[in-house]
């Protein structure tokens, strides 16, 4: 795929960029879920779904599920077409048109395998460092190894990032050797042309990904070197993200030139899209890191609202509506038993399912949602894990508990307000 891109956006997300309002951030965070990027940190996974909403598992390799996003399909078709109609007729003239199409299809499949091998390089090394890889997804811009969490050290980030290009270089070398061998043995021209093309493509794949522009592998290598040198991950991310964003702009400019000057519209538009993607992922990665660093060190108990308004379970639904729902701007109320012990919560939106005539007959207790990890967080947890809980469960508030005691309520708005204030006031 034209230089093949496998991208690795950090905690990735082009979506987070430019998100100022907490609501927007939540919306974007919830979409990030999975992976966007090679080595990508699935920071706030939403239950069972990823950024690649239209992806499906096709097989497993060494325990890693390999998924195909539907956006890969038009790319594969385009690659096959451009190889069959342009590249192979120029590389190996004098072959029949149907054979060029077979060669295009074979090389397109080979490209698919090449991207998987590249991602497997990252994934196997990541696994050695104890980093969980949830799978490999092929999509519009290449491949992604979905990494959960951050590499624990600069050294591990360096080795994991370098493993992908190393795998591609190894495949390129093997392909080159195979092509020379096939030529020496007098193998048919179409076969040697396809092998040669794949050897070259893997070399380009390695070279392109080594460009030191975050979130490409080279950018991760740059970040790991800066991180190891100065010991400051935030600064290292800021610098490599800035290089990544600059490279994104360069790609956009080159894409426009390619289309306008050389008349190569398909290639030009692809570069522009890729540039936009790299730029967004680079900028988003820094925001994500900040969010992680700011919230990770902040205990939930410091950000919660203490003395929350709790509802007795025996209260009639009509009274709850009158005395609580209309009086307080909350979407959810903790519910306590006669002894003041927390038993769960009731959500205002449940009212839509309850017929009006039932409001006088039923009590709050009949509609309680039991306490569980989806609506409660221990007082000692950090704010990052609370945010992760909220986004994975699609809720905007959590009850902060200690045993069966309710200590407070933590809202998403408060979390994000704290993040915004800290970054603005401290200028980080
Ligand atoms: Zn890579």
By CB atoms closer than 10 A (0-12, 13-18, 19+), residue 231 is: exposed
Q: How does pLDDT run across 278-311, given as a tens digit for each residue?
A: 888 888 778 778 888 888 888 888 888 888 888 8
Q: How far is the CA of 87 from the centre of ligand 1 (A)?
A: 25
Which pLDDT does position 52 carry in this prediction? 55
Task: Look at residue 4 and tell me whether its pLDDT is greater than 70.
Answer: no
Q: How far is the CA of 71 from the centre of ligand 1 (A)?
A: 19
Which pLDDT does position 229 carry in this prediction? 92
Give percent above pLDDT 70 in the chain. Answer: 87
Q: How far is the CA of 380 from the centre of ligand 1 (A)?
A: 37
Q: How far is the CA of 27 from the centre of ligand 1 (A)?
A: 28
pLDDT band of residue 373 (cuts 50, 70, 90) is confident
Classified as helix, coil or strand, 342 is strand
**Averaged confidence pLDDT in the chain:** 79
Q: How many CB atoms are located within 10 Å of the residue 149 CB?
A: 13
Structure tokens at 167: 């795998």
Domains of the chain (ranges plus CATH)? 5-295 (no CATH), 300-426 (3.10.580.10)
Which pLDDT does position 428 carry in this prediction? 66
Contact present, 206 and 172 (Cβ < 8 Å):
yes
The structure's pTM equals 0.68
Which pLDDT does position 238 carry in this prediction? 87
Q: How does pLDDT run across 393-416, given as a tens digit for each residue?
A: 777 888 888 888 888 888 888 888
The strand ranges marked E within 313-404 are 332-336, 342-347, 369-370, 376-378, 397-402
- Identify any residues that bridge with 80 across adjacent strands, giving them in sequence order: none
Query: How large is the average pLDDT for residues 216-232?
Result: 89
Q: How far is the CA of 189 from the centre of ligand 1 (A)?
A: 31
Q: How does pLDDT run across 44-102, given as a tens digit for each residue?
A: 233 333 445 577 788 888 888 888 888 888 888 888 888 888 778 887 777 788 888 88
DSSP secondary structure of 120-154: HHHHHHHHHTT-EEEEEEEETTEEEEEEES--SSH
Task: Look at residue 314 and tell me whether its pLDDT is greater than 60.
Answer: yes
Contact present, 145 and 122 (Cβ < 8 Å):
yes
Sequence-ordered list of residues with C-beta below 8 angstroms from that of 125, at least 6 positions apart, any chain = 159, 160, 163
Q: How far is the CA of 123 from the centre of ligand 1 (A)?
A: 10
Sequence-ordered list of residues with C-beta below 8 angstroms from that of 372, at least 6 positions apart, any chain = none
Q: Where are the alpha helices (DSSP H) in 216-264?
A: 217-230, 233-260
**Span of 31-45, 48-62, 359-373 with lowest mean pLDDT:** 31-45
190 versus 276: the higher-pLDDT residue is: 276
Which pLDDT does position 118 carry in this prediction? 92
Report the C-alpha gap between 136 and 119 in whole angstroms.
7
Q: How far is the CA of 233 from the centre of ligand 1 (A)?
A: 20
Structure tokens at 89: 């007729």
Q: How far is the CA of 257 from the centre of ligand 1 (A)?
A: 27
Q: How far is the CA of 217 from the centre of ligand 1 (A)?
A: 5
Q: How does pLDDT run across 102-154, given as a tens digit for each residue?
A: 888 888 888 888 888 999 999 999 889 888 888 888 887 778 888 776 788 88
Report the C-alpha gap between 322 and 302 in whole angstroms.
31
Q: How far is the CA of 105 from the centre of ligand 1 (A)?
A: 24
Which pLDDT does position 221 carry in this prediction? 92
pLDDT band of residue 30 (cuts 50, 70, 90) is very low
Which pLDDT does position 237 carry in this prediction? 87
Report the C-alpha gap between 346 and 331 in whole angstroms.
9
Q: How far is the CA of 42 from the centre of ligand 1 (A)?
A: 16
Which pLDDT does position 50 carry in this prediction? 43
Report the C-alpha gap between 281 and 40 in whole angstroms.
11
pLDDT band of residue 21 (cuts 50, 70, 90) is very low
Q: How far is the CA of 228 from the centre of ligand 1 (A)?
A: 20
**Measuring CA to CA, which residue among 142, 141, 139, 161 is closest to residue 150?**
161
**Span of 26-30, 55-59, 196-200, 256-260 with lowest mean pLDDT:** 26-30
């Amino acid at each position: 795929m034209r230089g093949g891109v496998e991208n690795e956006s950090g905690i990735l997300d082009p979506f987070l960029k430019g998100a100022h309002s907490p609501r927007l951030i939540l919306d974007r965070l919830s979409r990030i879920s999975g992976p966007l990027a090679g080595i990508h940190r699935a920071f706030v996974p939403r239950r069972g779904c990823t950024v690649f909403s239209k992806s499906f598992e096709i097989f497993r390799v060494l325990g890693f599920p390999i998924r195909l996003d539907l956006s890969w399909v038009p790319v594969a078709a385009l690659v096959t077409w451009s190889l069959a109609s342009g590249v192979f007729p120029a590389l190996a003239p004098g072959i029949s048109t149907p054979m060029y199409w077979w060669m295009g299809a074979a090389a397109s499949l080979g490209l698919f395998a090449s991207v998987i091998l590249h991602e497997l390089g990252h994934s196997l090394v990541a696994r050695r460092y104890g980093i969980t890889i949830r799978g490999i997804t092929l999509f519009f811009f290449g491949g992604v190894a979905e990494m959960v969490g951050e590499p624990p050290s600069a050294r591990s980030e360096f080795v994991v990032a370098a493993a992908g290009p190393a795998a591609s270089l190894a495949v390129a070398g093997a392909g080159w050797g195979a092509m020379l061998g096939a030529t020496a043995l007098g193998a048919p021209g179409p076969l040697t042309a396809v092998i040669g093309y794949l050897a070259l493509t893997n070399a380009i794949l390695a070279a392109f990904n080594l460009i030191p522009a975050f979130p490409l592998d080279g950018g991760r290598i740059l970040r790991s070197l800066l991180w190891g040198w100065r010991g400051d991950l935030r600064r290292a991310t800021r610098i490599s993200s800035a290089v990544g964003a600059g490279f994104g702009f360069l790609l956009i400019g080159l894409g426009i030139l390619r289309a306008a000057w050389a008349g190569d519209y398909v290639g030009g538009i692809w570069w522009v899209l890729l540039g936009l993607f790299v730029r967004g992922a680079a900028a988003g990665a820094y925001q994500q890191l900040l969010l992680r660093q700011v919230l990770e060190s902040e205990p939930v108990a410091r950000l919660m609202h203490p003395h929350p308004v709790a509802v007795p379970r025996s209260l009639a639904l009509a009274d709850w509506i009158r005395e609580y729902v209309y009086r307080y701007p909350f979407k959810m109320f903790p519910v306590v038993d006669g002894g003041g012990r927390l038993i769960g919560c009731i959500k205002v939106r449940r009212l839509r399912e309850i017929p009006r005539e039932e409001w006088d007959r039923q009590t709050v207790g009949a509609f309680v949602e039991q306490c569980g990890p989806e609506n409660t967080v221990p007082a000692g947890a950090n704010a990052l894990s609370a945010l992760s809980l909220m986004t994975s469960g699609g809720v905007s508030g959590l009850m902060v508990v200690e045993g069966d005691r309710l200590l407070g309520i933590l809202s998403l708005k408060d979390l994000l307000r704290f993040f915004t204030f800290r970054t603005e006031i401290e200028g980080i």
